[in-house]
Amino acid sequence: MADEKKGFLQEFKEFALKGNVMDMAIGVIIGGAFGNIVTALTTSFINPLIGLITGGAQRDENGQIVVSAGSWSPVDGVEFTYGAFISAVVNFLILALILFCLLKAINKASNAAEAAAKKLKKEEEEKAAAEAAAPEPSKEEVLLTEIRDLLKNK
């Protein structure tokens, strides 16, 4: 049971730390943060600009948008709230910096683990090569070993 659980956790770790999964997760997070920038841009600049162009669109009691026709002058109550947009951009930049540092740390740890695994594999290969390169015992050594084993059995 412990081996099965360890195997599952090892598989999950390998899956979660694959480059494709990390890239996708970061893409989703960055996409969400960029969505906030687009929302702030729309709310802060585009909607008020449309309000100025249309002469002040307003909602009636049914929630329908009513546009007053013919008025091209600036409308009272239309504001360009750039603070929300700037805040969204700053939040995006902070999030991108944090994700960059996190991904850099993960890559560094992954590279260190790969280097350690390569070193261990190389050491094992050298040990196996050294064992394989050991000379075969001579006929005299084989004969003496057999004699020793026979004497030991008596």
Question: Where are the chain's structural domains?
Answer: 2-153
Question: What's the chain's average pLDDT?
Answer: 79
CA distance 149 to 87: 85
CA distance 10 to 19: 16
Please name the residues in contact with 70: beta carbons below 8 A apart, sequence gap of 6 or more: 55
Q: pTM of the entire structure?
A: 0.55
Query: pLDDT tens for residues 18-74?
Result: 767 778 888 899 999 899 899 988 888 887 777 777 665 566 566 555 544 444 444
Residue 107 has pLDDT above 50, yes or no: yes
CA distance 44 to 75: 15
* Per-residue model confidence (pLDDT) at position 122: 92
